[in-house]
Structure 1
Amino acid sequence: MRSKRLSSEEIILQSIGENPHFLTATLDPEPVYKYVDNQRTDTVIAKRLTVIIEGIAVDTVKLPKSFEISSDDLKLKPIQFLNLTASEFGNNIYFKAENAKVVKHETSH
């Protein structure tokens, strides 16, 4: 019997919880290339950012190819994603977001 396909929200809840905290890893975003007939082209269609999901694991989030992040922000800084979604294929979960921003903490004087 085939099980019900989970929604993106259900996948996120089951895999990383209700309010996951993400930290930037120390890796530059990797290009995601377009494939045609199972062959990689030179066309970059997105970027993949490696993040640490606090208390859970290290994973990647696919972002638009226009996404930029400074090297200073790749040093275990809190990061938030705009419209984070998740898809499940087999036993793998893939995350995608429209954008991301590093959370800047205000310093009190």
Structure 2
Amino acid sequence: MLLTNLNKHRGYDQKTFKNDFGDLRWFATIGGGVQNIRRWDNEQKKYTDEVVAKALDLYVEGAGFQRVKFPTTFTISNITELSEIELVNPVACEVRGNVYVKADGLKEAN
């Protein structure tokens, strides 16, 4: 049996982020605000009230909108709408053709 694409899902890493987004420009779209990501309870088959991450939809030039997950302490108080931004320590993973991105934070681009 020939096995291919075994390494399609190996978790989040910098290489996947670089391969999928390279040197594309990111822009803040903070109008919708930061969203809470709640923990999923497999036994109850529903979300709990526990917030496990924050998320923000950002615009990636040439790629469209991308939801990015951040730590629960994340805030956007220092970012203005449509400013060019950089992700702090971005990583990504691919699962069934979908790309998921996480970062430690974001800052305005220089």
Q: What is the match of residue 107 of structure 2?
A: 101
Match of 2:5 among 3, 6, 14: 3
Output aligned runs, 1:17-36, within 5 Å.
17=22, 19-25=23-29, 26-36=31-41
Structure-2 separation of matches of 1:80 and 1:13: 13
The one-character-per-residue Cα deviations of 1:12-61 (angstroms, maximum 9, x if unpaired) are 233222x1211011320111001112320011111111100112211111
- Higher relative CO (Cα under 8 Å, sequence separation at least 6) belongs to 2
CA RMSD of aligned residues (A): 2.0
2:58 is aligned, of 51, 59, 62, to: 51
The one of 67, 70, 94 aligned to 1:63: 70
Can you give the 5+ residue segments of structure 2 that lack an aligned partner in the other structure?
Answer: none
Structure 1, unaligned stretches of length 5 or more?
none
Residues 74, 11 of structure 1: alpha-carbon distance in 2 compared, 3 angstrom cutoff: same
Give the 4+ runs in structure 1 shifted more than 6 A.
none
TM-score if structure 2 supplies the norm length? Answer: 0.80
